[in-house]
Amino acid sequence: MGRRRKKGRPVNGWLVLDKPYDVGSTEAVGRLRWLFDANKAGHAGTLDPLATGILPIAFGEATKTVPFVQDGLKRYRFTARWGEATATDDAEGAVTATSDQRPSREAIEAILPDFIGEIEQVPPAFSAIKVDGERAYDLARDGEKVELEARMITVHEFVLVDMPDEDHAVFEAVTGKGTYVRALVRDIARELGTQGHVSALRRTAVGPFTEDMAVTIEDLTGKDFAADVHRDTLDQTDLDSFLEPVESGLADLPSAAITGADAGRLRSGQPAIVPPPVAKGIRGDRAGEIEAVLAMHHDEAIAICRLDGLKLQPVRVFQTGE
């Protein structure tokens, strides 16, 4: 038997969604997939329901580039609420501990360098990490004690932006993959001799995707997320105009311009040969294989390749039908 054909349109590209408050990432992807009538969709990096901001959603062939976007840097702006720890390390959970201690600006700024660079972090119990095949947050919600192992993360920037009152401090941070902002606030509060949780969180960038590129549900439908929308009243061509191209998630990769004949070879799984000057330009000072190179024919992404000598070996091939 042949494979069952997926329902929906063959939509290809990225939608940079400005996710609203109190909407889960999976729920947002489902809604956008339905709105676009897309046959395939996914997202690059979970954003908690109580957080807002950049949730890149990949459609069709763009889903092949999701790992590269997930590995990109993420920028956050968030507010710490001092004096109260919660079960979830954000405003959703019940208060589990309190403190009368309130840190000064000087105390906060003095310890921030300890939280920059490669550091160990224990993820929150309420997280999507799997424990014996189960999500940690499912176990925690069932009342089980969840103990997660510390792991190394990277924080590239961490600055104090504002202190509107003694109970709150506003920060901005740039982090690597796998960093939990909720855990950062939990740990910095403890280091300051108090308790704390995240009371507001907004993600302002994921890899190459920024707020300048973001669109809201209202931009797409004229209504908020909770409103009923009849898909047949929407202009699919107009919706598609909000999409970023498949290769927009690969802005950090070196690229190689190839011929139409080479594009055909790569799409059939065969290697393409690039001229020595092109290979040298891609390689720069690096020796050995280059694991990820974007092969482009004019303005169309053809494949993500491995450069081995002068050979572009296809790793992920895009079939956009263009």
Please, are residues 258 and 295 in contact by the beta-carbon 8 Å criterion? yes
240 has catalytic annotation: no
Please, are residues 178 and 152 in contact by the beta-carbon 8 Å criterion? no
Element (H, E) at 279: helix 276-283
Q: Which two tokens stand for residue 171?
A: 């920060």
Please, are residues 266 and 312 in contact by the beta-carbon 8 Å criterion? yes
Q: Which two tokens stand for residue 322?
A: 């263009």
The rounded radius of gyration (Å) of the Cα atoms in the chain is 22
Please, are residues 61 and 10 in contact by the beta-carbon 8 Å criterion? no
* Catalytic entry in 18, 48, 89, 90: 48
* Angle formed at CA 320 by CA 316 and CA 322, multiple of 5 degrees: 135
Distances, alpha carbon 189 to alpha carbons 117, 119, 197, in Å: 18, 16, 8
Please, are residues 96 and 224 in contact by the beta-carbon 8 Å criterion? no
Residue 33 phi, psi (nearest 5): -60, -40
DSSP annotation of 49 reads: T
Strand-pair partners of 134? 131
Residues forming the active site: 48
